[in-house]
Amino acid sequence: MNSTPRLEAKGVTMRFGGLTALADIDLAVPAGQIVGLVGPNGAGKSTLFGVLSGLLKPTTGTVLMDGEDVTATSPQLRARRGLARTFQHPELFSSLTVREHLSLAYRVRHTKSRILSDLVTGRGLFPKKDAEEDARVDELLGELNLTSIQHSAVVGLPLGTSRLVEIGRALATDPKVMLMDEPSSGLDVSESDDLASTMRKVVAERGVSLLFVEHDVPMVLGLCDHVYVIDFGQKIAEGNPDEIRANAAVRAAYIGEESEEITINEDDAVLAATSGGDRS
Amino acid sequence: MLSYILAGLATGSIFAIAAGSLVITYVASGVFNLAFAAMAFTVARVYYQLHVESGWGIAPAAFVSLVVFAPLMGAVLYLVLFRFLQGRSTIIKLMATLGLSVALPPLVELVLGKLTANTAPGLAPVPLKVFRFAGATVNADQVAMYIGLLVVLVVGVGVLRFTDIGLKVRALVDSGALTSLSGTNPGRVSMGVWAVSTMLAGLTGILVAPTSGLSVAGMTPLMTTAFAAVVAARLKNLPVAMGVGLLIGLAGAVPQKWIDPNSSFSHYFLPCIPFIFMLAALVYFAVRGQTGDQATGGALDRAIAVEGGDSSVVPSAGLKIGRFPLPVVLSVVFVVVVGLLPQVFNTYWAGLTASGIVLAIVLLSYTLVTGEGGMLWLCQISFAGFGAILVAELATLRGWDPIVATLVGPLVAIPIGLLIGALTIRLGELYIALVTLTVALLAQTLVITQTRWYNFGSGTPVSRPSFALDNKAFIYLALAVFLAVALLVVNLRRSTAGLALGAVRWSENGARTIGLSVLQSKLLVSALAAYVATLGGAFIAMNNQTTLPDFFQPFTGLVWLAVLMTLGSRSVMAALVTGLLYYYMPALFQQYLPTSLGEVPIILFGLGAVALATHPEGAFSQIAGDMTKKRAKKATAKSPTPPPTPPASPTSTTSEPAVAGRHA
């Protein structure tokens, strides 16, 4: 097995004026693993996602993909190297239908020349089927339960459904590593369970590595191979789910004090209850 | 030297007041007021009416026009227009104010009468007194300009810093939502801001009228010069905007100590000064990574803002006749009807039809760049003017076949379109509009009215192709070209490139993270739009059989765009209807209604764009939306089960309609 992580952050620091949003963060997403990133609101999780996906340039530090430094590359180049992401607030294309989101993402990855060639071949006026594209898009729509609304525009879709469209769009690029920002937010329990099994499936069957930010702590601890915890822009803990459950610094970050008496399951509940709220 | 500095400070004072007014309304309401020149003209015209035509003294005329009429106009405009722009997209905000700039001047002329000459007095008594100061001379009008700026600065700073009203305005600038939560009505504060900014617009109009003339055309350069200062201030920084306004005034006056103002160098250099400032500021921001539209308001305002309000998300009726969608069938029928018009019309109406169709070709460039690309380019008319001189140069002066010159010549516009695109795309929607309008004014002065093709305004003759010499044949040629370009646009929209454009338009971050290049996608549409506008301009010249350089005034382009946006910026058929309406409506008024109502069509065109504030989707899409609603109502009445599409919840991403339209 290749030991080089698919995605890696080394000593990433991000400052906005006088505010240090991230301080010397190290993080690695190995191949075929699910990695969780948790922390209270304002901890710097989304900023780190911005740095990893190329939307933000770090003040210092490097970002590597398969061991190669991509810190200076654009988000689109990272996408072409196999990095996909979703957003905390879904970034959808309002004039496109659900299916078009997935089709476009598929084409950008696999048949990018169509952006120009369609203009010459008149494929907009006289559409021609692409069996591979159709099969892949149909498969993703089915996996994410989006088939019934595939021809609806994304405007007006409930938040949870919008998230699924974003996930489908990201998967349509056939990524090697995928960053998911609060993917279960807005989904009900059954939808969250479906999403979790989809995530396991893409990792198992396609070898995709996942890094995800999530407030649903039981989901994170139940799904992840490795978890990073950040607070006030600093990494305060990392380890497997059991190590994170037992970590005193994590408890302090979430509930403001160390509490040895809390049982494991209660820990998850407390972490889940406090992670979306204010610091206290 | 001092004389030049004082003269520069005088004109700079006007630019500073104008820039200040634009910044204040932008930061307080999020609306960049493209109707500034029209509002300045309106108040100045009222002052002229009172002072010159009714014989009032300067003080009472100035008091009534500036302290009574202007604030009232600002408040009324806020109530009927500006308040509806909250939450709208930048393009809709700009278009609504553009519509106002189109409708307001002819409306004023309809009420107060058209002036035969545009010379007008300012706030100083005529004949003007001349004052001597350290060997330099200034006239009373210039002194009025200094005093105007001083009063604005003292009163403005005093009110903003030290009064309760100023505190509320500053709170509104920071966050309308939080201002509202603290018990202040942000609507009233906004109305007050618009009242004051209209007063400032009026003041600049009255001050500039003696030198630039009492006309919108005279005041538009004032506005675009102020744009440069506003861009340098990144739209928000009031002291910088006013300071740069003063500097631009100085930069225009001081070099005249060494350069003959009547020389050809001055003719080319002086109009470029605001553009140089704008360009320098943009380069500076680009180097510092500070480009892109800046959000107004605070975090809460952005959190509760509703996405949408744009014509690119529109309902589709989904009705079909046989296998074909209703819009396609209607489009074919309409084109057939237009094709039959030359058979039934006399020479006059056939000529208007030809003019309408060639204009429609130019309008398709707006469909591309604004409708598909989401960029408000205000220089398309300059590309059209460039097309006219290009076909004159190639066909008339160099002996090319007219049809070859018309089709091949506009290829030259592609690199220009790419250059403008590359310079502006990263800037954000508002900057794109400001920069392209400035480019349009510059192109009109520096290129289109060049003596080589100007010929004292009559232009250079342009021949039609030998097979389309008469109007009837020319109409069919133009219609064929229109249809070819229309199919190109529809093909683009439905192709992967169209999807990519839709993606980058709605979410640049989303597009970039699936591997799309925002720049490349938009450059593609910029290049195509530049070619199409230039091609259309060449056809306009062939239709007129001369280049008619004065036809391609940037303000005329704003009227074209206003009508097109009213009908729908994404519909190719809206382009054809707009082109025909643009010529038929004035002709109908001219033929069948009193001459005094001659300006009514322009007013209606402008009001149509103003209506985008409440119906941003445009008329065509609105009709389609109404049909969808009726259809859904019928379906609901027939079926006891609810429709399958999940309803929008409070957490939905937008409140816009749920089905994306596919325009014909």
Over the stretch A214-246, which tens digit does the pLDDT of each residue have? 877 778 888 899 999 998 899 998 999 888 888
C-beta atoms of B660 and A80 within 8 A: no
Domain housing A230: 7-246
Considering only the beta carbons, identify the residue of A105, A122, A125 that sits closest to B514.
Answer: A105
- Average pLDDT value for residue range B536-561: 91
Q: How confident is the model at residue B302 (pLDDT cuts 50, 70, 90)?
A: low
C-beta atoms of A119 and B649 within 8 A: no
Cα–Cα dist B556/B554, whole Å: 5
- Higher-confidence residue of B291 and B136: namely B136
Measured between CB atoms, does A72 come within 8 Å of chain B?
no
Residues of B in contact with A80 (CB under 8 A): 515
Contact between A167 and A183 (Cβ < 8 Å): yes
Residue A269 lies in a domain: no
Is the pLDDT at B637 greater than 60? The verdict is yes
Pairing of strands A34-38, A209-213: parallel
Residues of A in contact with B500 (CB under 8 A): 104, 108, 115
Considering only the beta carbons, identify the residue of A115, A157, A173 that sits closest to B496.
Answer: A115
DSSP structural state of residue B131: E
Q: What is the CATH number of the domain that holds A185?
A: 3.40.50.300
Structure tokens at A79: 């996408």
Over the stretch A42-81, which tens digit does the pLDDT of each residue have? 889 989 999 999 999 999 999 999 999 999 999 999 999 9
Residues of A in contact with B646 (CB under 8 A): 149, 157-158, 161
Structure tokens at B565: 């946006």
Residues of B in contact with A109 (CB under 8 A): 514-515
Which residues between 269 and 308 in chain B have a beta carbon less than 8 angstroms from any beta carbon of chain A? 307-308
Q: How confident is the model at residue A148 (pLDDT cuts 50, 70, 90)?
A: very high
| Minimum distance, in Å, between the CA of residue B499 and any CA atom of chain A | 7
Tell me the domains of chain B and their CATH numbers.
2-87+118-259+269-297 (1.10.3470), 320-621 (1.10.3470)
Residue A280 lies in a domain: no
pLDDT > 70 in chain B, percent: 88
Residues of B in contact with A113 (CB under 8 A): none
Interface predicted TM-score (ipTM): 0.86
> What is the overall mean pLDDT for chain B?
84
Please name the residues in contact with A140: beta carbons below 8 A apart, sequence gap of 6 or more: A102, A146, A168, A171, A172
Considering only the beta carbons, identify the residue of B307, B312, B487 that sits closest to A125.
Answer: B487
Cis amide leading into B127 (omega within 30):
yes
Considering only the beta carbons, identify the residue of A109, A125, A158 that sits closest to B651.
Answer: A158
pLDDT > 90 in chain B, percent: 38
Over the stretch B494-545, which tens digit does the pLDDT of each residue have? 999 999 999 998 899 999 999 999 889 999 999 999 999 999 999 999 999 9
Residue A66 lies in a domain: yes
Nearest-CA residue of chain A relative to B661?
A95
- Average pLDDT value for residue range B436-463: 87
Is the pLDDT at B316 greater than 70? The verdict is no
C-beta atoms of A123 and B516 within 8 A: no
DSSP reduced 3-state for B43: helix
Contact between B575 and B364 (Cβ < 8 Å): yes
Is the pLDDT at A274 greater than 50? The verdict is no
Q: How confident is the model at residue A256 (pLDDT cuts 50, 70, 90)?
A: low
Over the stretch A162-181, which tens digit does the pLDDT of each residue have? 989 999 999 999 999 999 99
Picking from A59, A73, A115 by the largest number of B CB atoms within 10 A of its own CB, the best residue to mutate is A115
pLDDT of residue B611: 83
> Burial of B202 by CB count in 10 Å (0-12 exposed, 13-18 middle, 19+ buried)?
buried
CB-defined contacts A:B, below 8 A: 179
With b meaning 16 or more CB within 10 Å and e meaning fewer, what string describes B509-525?
ebbbbbbbbbbebbbbb
pLDDT of residue B125: 87
C-beta atoms of A55 and B497 within 8 A: no
Radius of gyration of chain A (CA): 19
| Minimum distance, in Å, between the CA of residue B661 and any CA atom of chain A | 8
Is the pLDDT at B579 greater than 90? The verdict is yes
**Angle of helix B272-287 relative to helix B238-253, nearest 10 degrees?**
140
Is the pLDDT at A116 greater than 70? The verdict is yes
DSSP reduced 3-state for B298: coil
Is the pLDDT at B3 greater than 90? The verdict is no
C-beta atoms of A93 and B651 within 8 A: no
| Minimum distance, in Å, between the CA of residue A197 and any CA atom of chain B | 23
pLDDT of residue A64: 96
Residue A254 lies in a domain: no
Considering only the beta carbons, identify the residue of B312, B514, B521 that sits closest to A169.
Answer: B514
Structure tokens at A233: 């822009």
Residues of B in contact with A90 (CB under 8 A): 653
C-beta atoms of B512 and A112 within 8 A: no
| Minimum distance, in Å, between the CA of residue B643 and any CA atom of chain A | 12
Residue A267 lies in a domain: no
> What's the total number of domains in chain A?
1
Picking from B513, B621, B651, B655 by the largest number of A CB atoms within 10 A of its own CB, the best residue to mutate is B513
Picking from B653, B655, B659, B663 by the largest number of A CB atoms within 10 A of its own CB, the best residue to mutate is B653
pLDDT of residue B312: 44
Picking from A87, A92, A94 by the largest number of B CB atoms within 10 A of its own CB, the best residue to mutate is A94
Residue A257 lies in a domain: no
Measured between CB atoms, does B648 come within 8 Å of chain A?
yes
Phi, psi of B514 (to 5 degrees): -105, 5
Cα–Cα dist A198/B6, whole Å: 73
Cα–Cα dist B86/B302, whole Å: 12
Picking from A102, A155, A191 by the largest number of B CB atoms within 10 A of its own CB, the best residue to mutate is A155
Residue A264 lies in a domain: no
Residue A115 lies in a domain: yes
Which residues between 506 and 565 in chain B have a beta carbon less than 8 angstroms from any beta carbon of chain A? 506-507, 509-517, 520-521, 524
Least confident of B41-55, B191-205, B292-306, B609-623: B292-306
Contact between A153 and A66 (Cβ < 8 Å): no
Q: DSSP states of B414-425 as a string?
A: HHHHHHHHHHHG
C-beta atoms of B656 and A173 within 8 A: no
pLDDT of residue B434: 85
Q: How confident is the model at residue B282 (pLDDT cuts 50, 70, 90)?
A: confident
- Higher-confidence residue of B233 and B310: namely B233
Ramachandran bin of A263, using left for φ above 0, alpha for ψ from -120 to 50, beta for the remaining angles:
beta
| Minimum distance, in Å, between the CA of residue B538 and any CA atom of chain A | 24
Measured between CB atoms, does A17 come within 8 Å of chain B?
no
Phi, psi of A128 (to 5 degrees): -125, 135
Cα–Cα dist A89/B321, whole Å: 40
Over the stretch B323-355, which tens digit does the pLDDT of each residue have? 777 888 888 999 999 999 999 999 999 999 999
HEC secondary structure over A248-264 = HHHHHHHHCCCCCCCCH
Which residues between 102 and 131 in chain A have a beta carbon less than 8 angstroms from any beta carbon of chain B? 103-105, 107-109, 111-112, 114-116, 118-119, 122-125, 127
Is the pLDDT at A279 greater than 80? The verdict is no
Least confident of A127-131, B214-218, B646-650: B646-650
pLDDT of residue B566: 85
| Minimum distance, in Å, between the CA of residue A133 and any CA atom of chain B | 13
DSSP structural state of residue B654: B
pTM of the predicted structure, to 2 decimals: 0.83
C-beta atoms of A124 and B312 within 8 A: no
Residues of A in contact with B515 (CB under 8 A): 76, 79-80, 108-109, 112, 173
Which residues between 182 and 221 in chain A have a beta carbon less than 8 angstroms from any beta carbon of chain B? 186
Is the pLDDT at B452 greater than 90? The verdict is no
